[in-house]
Amino acid sequence: MKEDAHEQAVRLISAEHVEGLTPEQRRWLDAHLSACPGCSAKADALGRALSSLRLVSVQLDPAVLAATRRLVRSRAAEIGEQRNRLRIAWMAPMLSFVWMAFTGPLMWRGFEWLGGSLGWADGVWQSSFVVGWFLPATAAALALSLMRGERLHRLEN
């Protein structure tokens, strides 16, 4: 199955924030976004979601940040495999990002408060925050992808 231009644009928009783009991919994406309002809106939405994430991650310690990056990378690798099977697998990371952007700042304050009340070290409540914040989104995205995969599998057989 050949990727159409919009699917490729969505894939590059996500890749841009994870592993970065080659100059050639960058030029292609810029050209597509300037001509395609739909993909341009998706790029803006993801950019805004990631900006709110950055506000939170400024306060994270490097070990927590590195762990989060590993999770994002392994999630991205997972998405890469799913994309070969499912055209709409891109919805999973988008939903995941949106969920995280909305709940991140709230949960951060919640965990900070909880850690403070229980006298935990910063590293402890920050790690709990990453697990509590990241895993539900990843699990939900994975469940969504598996559900779609199963439906696709049923249709094929």
Instruction: Give CA–CA dist 90/81, Å, rounded.
Output: 11
Whole-number minimum distance, CB 47 to Zn ion, in Å? 16
Site for Zn ion in 2-61 (CB under 5 A): 6, 9, 36, 39
Residue 4: helix, strand or coil by DSSP? coil
Nearer of residues 37 and 119 to Zn ion, judged by Cβ: 37
Whole-number minimum distance, CB 67 to Zn ion, in Å? 34
79 binds Zn ion (CB under 5 A): no
Q: Which of 77, 53, 83, 78 is nearest to 142 (CA)?
A: 78
Cα-based torsion angle of the residue sequence 60, 79, 11, 16 in order, rounded to the nearest 10 degrees? 20
Q: How many residues bind Zn ion (CB under 5 A)?
A: 4
Whole-number minimum distance, CB 50 to Zn ion, in Å? 19
Instruction: Give CA–CA dist 143/92, Å, rounded.
Output: 9
Nearer of residues 6 and 85 to Zn ion, judged by Cβ: 6
Tell me which residues touch Zn ion (CB under 5 A). Answer: 6, 9, 36, 39
